[in-house]
Structure 1
Amino acid sequence: MTTAYNKEPSIGIRGRDQDVCRGYAAIGTVLQSRLQNNTKSVVVIECYPGVRQQEIMEGLRPYLHPTDVIEAEAAAIDAAKINGMVERYLTDDRVFGYMAPFHIEEMYDPHKLAKLRERVEAVPEGTVIVIGFGASLVTHGDLLVYADLARWEIQLRYRSKEFGNWLAHNEDEDMLRKYKRGYFHEWRMADRLKRSLFQRIDYYLDTNAQNDPKLALWDAVLDGMEQISRQPFRLVPYFDPGVWGGIWLESKLFLPNKEHPYAWGFDGVPEENSLYLDFGSVRMEVPAINLVFLQPKSLLGERVYSRFGAEFPIRFDFLDTMGGQHLSLQVHPTTDYIQTRFGMPYTQDESYYILDAKPGAQVYLGLKEGVAPEQMLNDLRKAERGGGSFPAEQYVNVFPASKHDHFLIPAGTVHCSGSDCMVLEISATPYIFTFKLWDWDRLGLDGKPRPVHLDHGAQVIQWDRTTSWVERELVGRVELVAEGNGWREERTGLHEFEFIETRRHWFSEPVLHTGNGSVQMLNLVEGEEAVVESPDGMFEPFVVHYAETFIIPASIERFVIRPSGPSVGRTIATIKAFVKG
């Protein structure tokens, strides 16, 4: 199957071209024009952790000519005190922590903040700039600029050692530990602050690309988000190498060569993906989670929003083992365990949709009949200590995997994809909670043993999910739902234990889809091209290509998908996921 997969999908924002500019010269001119009639002006630049603050100041200084520049983080409490506060939430584990409840105010010294406010007030005239993560605590100012960047860009800055975590001075620390501190503490605190400022922001600053900033009037961003919440759209995908990576993503999606093969493709994870917003000739990159925060009801649906809050509960991603290696043998925590041990409200139920596979491909799923838990755990511990390979096939079922098979994996089920599979993973959003039980005697790309979490895994393995139950409940669950002229709809899962439902449509003629009170995430799993249309003209026709994931907001009550381009006259297929009613 060939594909015209779009690696840089963008969304045109209508009617706001004049409210966006690019480059420090243009940005400085815009800001200065807002301040020119003031004898004294205070500009607050609130920053998401990881923003290049020095670059911003160097870029703006020639245009704003500040009388004083105040670095807000000078008023933060000592780094040692911060570490002491968050230590119990980060734990000693290399990967997992506990969701920390902190707000930015707790990280600042009131007396030091008061000194900075006095410094602001002491300037008789001119422009004062207050910048940093927490700058908005110092003063409201005359203008509030919010400087933002995508979660994936933060991770790249961690990896390059350009940045560590906020005030942690840990640039050289293990990447997994930096990510953990971001995930469980820093980003949660930053998102709480960001959301609290939505009614105060004047301008939004995109800082993803080095020395290439874009500034938008905040009202233009709000308008853009409202427009997006009423049309189909795609997230900006990214792809990452891994020790078990294959060749499918690189060869089929025409990705650039890497030293190590691609293992993951993230094309449907709003917490980490971003959105490209085209305001005329200026393209802004915005974290996709901002759309969830700003348009939760229109995007998610009121029923889903009332259940999950402003959080996108569905996730699509790619796992490529074609010509690669097995994934780690793993298990995900039960809901009770993830709530009590990690502070998460729901767990990582998932499924493997086989987008492609070579002959002989396999999926490991569930335990064999009569497995003795202590014997299996003893063999796993022995393998972890280097006492020989774990005999996986002695304990775990192995099923043949073919294109368009769908394997259901409720939390607590032992599983992994074998080599030579291209998996579209459809799951709930808490995406880092994978307890590796065994990793096939290999090291990570960093040369270190990949973390194995056998103690956690032993607490959540559902030992009664054995061969007969798995064959009955998790494999080959395809049920005809409806059919018509040139189309049929099938229910392929997920399991009744899981809150996500999936439906597959095979069609050579246009198919009408109706809303069900939930956001819907889809992927074109067969066929080169399709077009999504609105029967009532609510949105412009939206073209999708093979393997592209796309989102239909809950605000869209009816939409039609039909084959287009080279797929006209052929039978093609989509898989879609939504939250059960």
Structure 2
Amino acid sequence: MSFMFKPYPYVDPQALNTPKLPPELRNSVTAGNRAVGKKLFEAAPEHGVVVLDGYVGAQFDRLIKRIEEAAAGKKVRKFDVSCAYKDSDELEKMLAETLPEDRVIDPILLFGKSIHREIESLFDPERVEALRRELAKAKQTADLVILYGCGSACGALHNCADVTAFLDVTPLSATTRVQAGRVRALGDAKERPLPYLFRRLYYYDYEIMMLHRKDLIARGDVDFYIDSNLEDNLKLLPLAAFRELLAIQTGYPFRCTPVYLEGVWGGFFVKNLRSLPSDMRNCAWVFDMIPNEVSIQIKVGGHTLNIPFSTFFKAEGERLMGKESVERFGHVFPIRFNYDDTYGGSGNMSIQVHPPRAYNQEHFGEPFQQDESYYVVKTAGSKTYLGLQDDCDIEEFYRCIDRAEKEHIPFDHDRYVNSFPSEQGDQYLIPGGTIHASGRNQVVLEIGSYTIGSYTFKLYDYLRSDLDGNPRPIHSIHGKNVLVTDRRRSRIDGVLRPKPVTVRQGDGWKEEIVGEHDLIYFSLRRLSFEHDIADDTNGKFHVLVLVEGDEVLICSKSDPTHCYHQKHMDMVVVPASMGEYEIINLGKTPCRVTKTMLK
């Protein structure tokens, strides 16, 4: 998995959630830029200040124009909050530790260091105070004052506002706007190449703005929430209605909106299954539930809102994830889910390794190690790489890696890296430090631990270029630093490729543990049933994937109308607050559903 640099620009309409909403909530959406502009103008008192804050990538110009149209004949003053940011050079100096530049260990400068900062770190205190004075002066002479830009509702400026709105943007929308050259890093005056820009955004801008958005919603410091993904069709809700919507959604099983990415080894199984656009070259990654990368679509009356999933889980942490999860991991969704699809593709995934906890903390400031797991959903004579061969000469292996990286000399990776013939339903565990890869001609469900960045250290990638013809980067120094060299076939078979253990069963159904490990904080389960099976969240969220079967109904036992129709390979979250629920087979063949939960 990598940063979402080049997602395919497609919002999957099938991933739609339709909770039952009271009439007043269904009718609470104001849609269309002209109507939204008028709403904000009318909400402001005479000589008032309208503050338009927003997530990275939010575009303010069109909405400001509509507010000005609504204020026709009146004097309007506008202020861009970026005038109060720190200088570009000062921000660059501040972020030097976050964005180290060492092209020996990190050839394309992909990795960074997570250092906790808040929105205030973006601002120069003296400039903020000067802006406050300007706003106060403008109120005396203008009929309406508009303050806009990321962070404009920060604590130091919040009490200047009479009306505040937040323009939210999904990660997919933000990324496509970055790619189109429409987004700069906050406060940055320099022209930057895309790799630099994305790294800066992930390690600073996105993080401070997610925290800022969470705090604004939690404190009630915004009056209106705006879905600004469709720039010509903004959708506004009063904050109270938005909060009510999220609270209601936590009472339902739900599906996030996937993000699809092409890749050099990409396959076609998911592309065909989900009828993805024909001009997609392939589908390598399916980010069904990478928490910081996906969104959630919710039907509200005649409108569909597309909300970043991070907005949802940070606002509804305890009801969604459970008290224990919030206490252990904070307001982050602690497990990520995606598909790797090589089915019918051109080759294997890269031979790779991820960092264990101590290395992750020291080098990247991440609190957890990057653990993963593979569940084989579909295979056609493939194999899965895991661990080293028993007779692997590690120094010889390293020499081969170095020659491939520096001299472009290929080698037979199968001499050193162990593999197992893949069978549908196989579960592999990949704690940090374990060498691994998915082979050609299969689809694996990848489930891993939470990290801000993505620390995939490629040791060998068959001397391939990416789809744009650029050499794929190798991170051999990091990889060799973290590789656990005693994880070899004879020691991992039955441990990292465990045998299922039945934990409960009944007439026509059973639940098995298919994967648990002391180093991994989540439990991988499998529910097999002919007709139906009952379960209980017991205060912990569950994530369910229909890996065998056509369609099931996931519904609350206390109110069966709180349900989701899940189709093959859909990922559905059952919120911690749901309690008892059941899964009903709507097809003609027995079903298997993977269930992931915190241990």
TM-score by length of 2: 0.92
**Cα distance in 1 between the residues matched to 2:40 and 2:280:** 44
Give the superposition deviation at 1:213.
0.8
- The answer to whether the 8 A contact 1:243-1:260 is kept is no
Which residue of the partner structure matches residue 577 of structure 2?
555
1:480 paired to 2:502: yes
How many angstroms apart in 2 are the aligned matches of 1:166 and 1:18? 35
Residue in 1 aligned with 2:526?
A: 504
Q: Percent identity?
A: 29
Change beyond 3 A, Cα 1:131–1:485: same
Give the direction of change, closer, same or farther, for the CA distance of 1:446–1:100 in structure 2 (3 Å limit).
farther
1:153-552 correspondence runs (5 A) = 153-169=173-189, 173-174=193-194, 176-198=195-217, 199=219, 200-258=221-279, 260-324=281-345, 325-358=347-380, 360-430=381-451, 432-537=454-559, 539-552=561-574
* Distance 1:84-1:249 versus aligned 2 partners, 3 A rule: same
147, 165, 168: which one aligns with 1:130:
147
Kept after mapping to 2: 8 A contact 1:327/1:418? yes
| Alpha-carbon spacing, 1:511–1:170, altered in 2? closer, same or farther (3 Å) | farther
What is the distance in 2 between the residues matched to 1:528 and 1:44?
48
Q: Find runs of 4+ consecutive structure 1 residues off by over 4 angstroms.
A: 169-172
Q: SS at the partner of 2:592? A: strand
Partner of residue 129, structure 2: 114
Higher mean displacement: 162-171 or 308-317: 162-171
Alignment partner, residue 7 of structure 2: none
Give the Cα separation in 2 of the matches to 1:469 and 1:374.
20
Judged with a 3 Å threshold, the aligned counterparts in structure 2 of structure 1 residues 306 and 426 are, in CA distance, closer, same or farther, namely same
Q: Hey, what's the Cα distance between the residues in 2 that align with 1:533 and 1:10?
A: 13
Q: CA deviation at 1:486?
A: 1.3
Change (3 A) 1:210 1:441: same
Q: How many residues align?
A: 569
Amino acid at match of 1:212: N
Instruction: Give 1:574's aligned residue.
Output: 593
Q: Is residue 42 from structure 1 mapped to residue 62 from structure 2 by the alignment?
A: no
User: Aligned partners of 1:150, 1:386: CA distance in 2, in Å?
Assistant: 42
* Alpha-carbon distance change, 251 to 434 in structure 1, aligned in 2, over 3 angstroms: same
Deviates more, 1:481-490 or 1:392-401: 481-490
CA–CA distance in 2 between the matches of 1:476 and 1:257?
A: 39
**1:144 maps to what in 2?**
164
Distance 1:304 1:542 in 2: 23
Aligned to 1:63: 70
Secondary structure (helix, strand or coil) at the match of 1:365 reads strand
Work out whether residues 16 and 299 of structure 2, in 8 Å CA contact, stay in contact via their aligned partners in 1.
Answer: no
- Given that 1:146 and 1:203 are in contact with CA atoms closer than 8 Å, whether structure 2 keeps it comes out as yes
Q: 1:163 to 1:373 in 2, by over 3 A?
A: same
3-state SS in 2 of match to 1:234: coil
**Does 2:33 correspond to 1:33?**
no
Deviates more, 1:192-201 or 1:315-324: 192-201
- Report the AA paired with residue 413 of structure 2: A
CA displacement at 1:139 relative to structure 2 = 4.4
Distance 1:171 1:422, change over 3 A: farther
Kindly provide the CA deviation profile for residues 113-171 of structure 1, in whole angstroms up to 9, marking residues without a partner as x.
Answer: 22222221112241100000121243431111111101122111222222232233566
TM-score (norm 1): 0.94
> What residue in structure 1 maps to residue 88 of structure 2?
79
Q: SS state of the match for residue 48, structure 2?
A: strand
Give the conservation status (yes or no) of the 8 Å contact 1:371–1:395.
yes
What residue in structure 1 maps to residue 100 of structure 2? 91
Once structures 1 and 2 are overlaid, which stretch shifts more, 69-78 or 107-116?
A: 107-116
Shift of 1:234: 0.6
* Superposition deviation, residue 236 in structure 1: 0.9
Partner of residue 32, structure 2: 23
For the structure 1 residues 170 and 550, does the alpha-carbon distance in structure 2 shift closer, same or farther, using more than 3 Å as the test?
farther
2:115 match: 100
User: How far off its partner does 1:511 sit?
Assistant: 0.5
Q: Deviations over 1:75-110 (max 9, x none)?
A: 212112111111221111411000132222222222
- The C-alpha deviation readout for 1:193-248, integer Å capped at 9, x for no partner, is 22222221100111111222111101111111111112101101121101110111
Partner AA of 2:145 in structure 1 = V
- Over the aligned positions, Cα root-mean-square deviation in angstroms equals 1.7
Task: Summarize deviations over 1:302-355 as a string: whole Å, max 9, x none.
Answer: 111110011111111111101112111100100111111111111221111111
Secondary structure of 1:338's counterpart equals helix
In the aligned structure 2, how far is the partner of 1:77 from the partner of 1:139?
Answer: 19
Contact 1:205/1:216, CA 8 A, preserved across alignment: yes
What is the distance in 1 between the residues matched to 2:351 and 2:21? Answer: 48
Q: Which amino acid aligns with 1:133?
A: C
Point out where structure 1 has 5 or more consecutive residues left out of the alignment: none
Given residue 471 of structure 2, which amino acid in structure 1 is its aligned partner? P
Q: Distance in 1 between matches of 2:227 and 2:285?
A: 26
Whether the aligned pair in 2 keeps the contact of 1:365 and 1:397 (CA below 8 Å) is yes
2:55 partner letter: Y
Unaligned runs of 5+ in 2: 1-11
SS at match of 1:90: coil
The one-character-per-residue Cα deviations of 1:384-441 (angstroms, maximum 9, x if unpaired) are 0134113211111011112221111111110000100111111112261211111111
Measure the CA separation in 1 of the matches of 2:370 and 2:174: 24
Give, in angstroms, the shift of residue 172 of structure 1.
5.6
When residues 286 and 13 of structure 1 are mapped into structure 2, their CA distance, relative to the original with a 3 A threshold, is farther
Alpha-carbon distance between aligned partners in 1 of 2:248 and 2:480, rounded to the nearest angstrom: 47
